[in-house]
Structure 1
Amino acid sequence: MNPRVQKTRSSIMNAFLNLMTEKKYESITIRDIVQRAGINRSTFYLHFLDKEDLMEHNSTYVLGKLREAMQYPAFNFEKALMEYNERQQPISSLLTIFLHIEEYFKFYSVMLNEKQFPKQLDEMIKEELYKFSINEIRCAYNAGGLIGLIRYWISSEMRESPEHMAKWVTHVLLFPHENHPDE
């Protein structure tokens, strides 16, 4: 994609997210978005059909980035156990997930309170977890737990670092019957 086009789309998407931190979705107008983005109305319509299309593009883009974070690198229990025991390293894909959440903090802080997004997030996480486990109940449980932890972390204004969060989850996964050292 042309860098100028990408910059304009990004500006529109960011303006929309910023507005969503200030007012409810229903009360945001295209006029609000274009004023905040510093573009004219026709430029908005070159990129998006309407506000709903913009919302969908934002969600699709960020969930795509989260999917990428979850896929790289693939989880391996033995390697994770060795890295944690020898160097106190968290599972690397967990760290990429929390770094992603940190990068898109504003998006998640708004969207986790919207109607459809939590369901989309849950489905995407379950799909990715299902690649590592054929047990649907385990995938549903882990997805719910991860979303709950993300909600906690965001609501606490990310007091803990992404590294701390990834280490905490790693410890829970590797040693489910032990308390975390920080507890």
Structure 2
Amino acid sequence: MNPRVLKTRKSIMNAFHDLMTEKKYESITIRDIVQRAGINRSTFYLHFLDKEDLMEQNSNFILEKLREAIQYPTFSLEAAQRDYEERQQPISSLIAFFNHIHEYFKFYSVMLGEKQFPQQLDEVIKEELLKFSLDKVRCAYNAGGLIGLIRYWVSTKMQESPEHMAKWVTQMLLFPYSQMDE
């Protein structure tokens, strides 16, 4: 995609994220979005049909970025345990996962309270976890736990670093019965 087009779309999405932290979705207008993004109305409509299309494309974009974070890089259980035991190194895809949540903090802080997004988030996490395990119950449990942890982290304004969160989850996954570090 053309870099100018990408820059304009990102500007529109950032303006939308900012506005969503200031007011309810229903009260945000196209006028608000274009003023915040510094574009004209016709430019908005070159990229999106309406506010609902912007919301849907925005959610799809964020969820696709989350998929990429979960997928990269893959790991083996043995290597992950060795890395953690020898160097206290968290699973790298968990670092990418929490860095993603951190990068899109404004989006998650609003969207976790919306009707459809938590369900979409749950589905994406479960789909990606099923690539590592065929146990659907375990994947559902882990997805629910991750969403709960994201909610906690976002609600506390991300007081812990992404690395801290990744280390905590790594320890829980690899050594569920060991004493947790504080």
TM tier, shorter chain?
over 0.9
Q: How does 1:12-161 map to 2 (within 5 A)?
A: 12-161=12-161
Shift in Å at residue 179 of structure 1? 2.2
Cα distance in 2, alignment partners of residues 42 and 69 from structure 1: 34
TM-score (norm 1): 0.97
- Aligned partner of 1:103: which letter? E
Q: Structure 1: where are the runs of 5+ without partners?
A: none
Render the CA deviation track for 1:62-99: whole Å, top value 9, x for unaligned. Answer: 11111000001113110000000100000111111011
Does residue 170 (structure 1) correspond to residue 158 (structure 2)? The answer is no
Which digits, 9 at most, give the CA deviation of each residue in 1:146-165, with x for residues without a partner?
01001111111111111111
Provide TM-score, normalisation by structure 2.
Answer: 0.98
Partner of 2:6: 6
What secondary structure does 2:163 align onto?
Answer: helix
Q: Which runs of 5+ in 2 are unaligned?
A: none
Distance in 1 (alpha carbons) for counterparts of 2:55 and 2:179: 40
Count of paired positions: 182
Distance 1:179 1:106 in 2: 33
Structure 2: distance between partners of 1:5 and 1:177 = 50
RMSD: 0.8
Which residue identity is paired with 2:4? Answer: R
After the TM superposition, which parts of structure 1 deviate over 4 Å for at least 4 consecutive aligned residues? none
Structure 2 equivalent of residue 181 of structure 1? 181
CA distance in structure 2 between the aligned counterparts of 1:80 and 1:139, rounded to whole angstroms: 18
Rounded to whole Å, the distance in 2 between the matches of 1:179 and 1:160 is 19
Give 3-state SS (helix, strand or coil) of 2:14's partner. Answer: helix
